Structure 1
Amino acid sequence: MSIFVLCFLLIFSTSLFVSGQNQSAYEVLQKNNLPGGILPHGVVKYDLNKKTGFFKVYFNSTCSFPIDSYKVKYQSTISGYLRTGRVRQLQGVSVKVLFFWVHISEVYRDGDDIDLSVGVASEEFSVRNFENSPRCGCGFDCYRAVSSF
C-alpha cells in the first residue's frame, strides 16, 4: 500500500511542473502580465511549478548585453517566483552599475512600466522597451541595426 501512495505522490508532484511543453517561457510571462522581452533570446527550456510559482529558465550559456547605460548579465540558469505582474527572489540576473555588478532581485510591472529592483533601489523602463527579447552581445540594439538597413 505504501508503494501505491509513493507512486501517486510522485506522479502528482511532477504534474505540478510544466517543462515548456505547451507554451514557451516568453508566452508564460505574457500570460502573467509581463513582457516576454524581459528574457533574452535563447531559452532552451524552463520549469514552472504552477502551485508555488517557482520557475527555472535554462540557456546554453551566460548572456550579457547593454540596456541604455547599463550592462546586464544572465547566468545559464535563472530562477525565481512568478506571480501576475511580478518576479520575486530572482536569482541569476545582474546589472553593472558603475564598476560593480549588482544582483537584480525583483522585476515588477507598474502600469506601462517595468521596474527592475536591486533591493533598495530600482530603475523604471517602459514596457514598450521589452516588446522584443534582447540578444546576447547586442541586446536591443540588434533590432535598431537591422531596421536601419
Structure 2
Amino acid sequence: MAKPQVLCLIWLSLVSLSLSSSVSTPNPKTQLQSGTGEAHQELIKYGFPIGLLPTDVKSYNLNRTSGRFLIMLGDTCRVTLPPDNYLATYNKKITGKIVESRIAEIDGISVRAFFKWWGITGIRSNGQDLVFEVGMLSAKYPSKNFDESPDCEGRRTSS
C-alpha cells in the first residue's frame, strides 16, 4: 500500500509549477511577464514557498482577473523531491488557476509513485503545510520541505 507521504510528495511536485503567481489584488486585463526571480517572488507573496517551482523558470504570465497562469520553463524538467525522493516531472509549459492560498486546474506537473505517473491537479496552502491534490486524493507535507527551488536533473541551470 502507498504511504500518505508518497501521495503528498506527488502533490508537492505539481504545486511547484503552478505556484508561479497568485491573485490577491484583482486588476482586470493586467498581465505579468517575468523571469525566474519574479515568478518565485510571486509565490512568496501568496504564502507559498519558492521550492514549488524549479530554478529553470523562463517566464510566467498571470491574468489577475481570472487567476489563470502560464509558466514556461527552459525545457521539460525532472527533479527529486524530498523527503521521500519521489521523481517529479514539469512540462515545459505549466498552466492552472491561482487564488489566495489555492492553485487549481494544474496541468503540466506529474509525480511518480507506486510505479505510476500521477498528475498533480491542485495545491492548497494551509498554514505551515501544503496539501497536494491528485484527483480525489490528497497528501499533506510541511511547507519547509520546499524552501529551496530544485535544479532540474541532468543539466546545468543558467544564471
What TM-score do the two structures reach when normalised by structure 1?
Answer: 0.78
Task: Report what 1:5 is aligned to.
Answer: none
Q: Aligned equivalents of 2:122 and 2:136: distance in 1? A: 11
Task: Report what 1:114 is aligned to.
Answer: 130
**Structure of greater Rg:** 1
Task: Report what 2:114 is aligned to.
Answer: 98
Is residue 77–residue 92 contact of structure 1 (8 Å, CA) maintained in 2? yes
Indicate whether 1:47 and 2:61 are aligned.
yes
Question: What does 1:1-149 correspond to in 2, within 5 Å?
Answer: 15-20=29-34, 24-67=38-81, 68-137=84-153
Q: What one-letter code is carried by the residue in structure 1 that aligns with 2:59?
A: K
In the alignment, structure 1 segments of 5+ residues that lack a partner are: 1-12, 139-149
- Deviation track 1:25-45 (CA, whole Å, cap 9, x = no partner) reads 111111111111100111101
Is residue 37–residue 131 contact of structure 1 (8 Å, CA) maintained in 2? yes
Identity of aligned residues (%): 30
C-alpha displacement at 1:69, in angstroms? 3.7
Aligned pairs, number: 125
C-alpha displacement at 1:20, in angstroms? 2.0
In the alignment, structure 2 segments of 5+ residues that lack a partner are: 1-27, 155-159
C-alpha displacement at 1:97, in angstroms? 1.3
Extract structure 1 runs of 4+ deviating beyond 6 A.
none
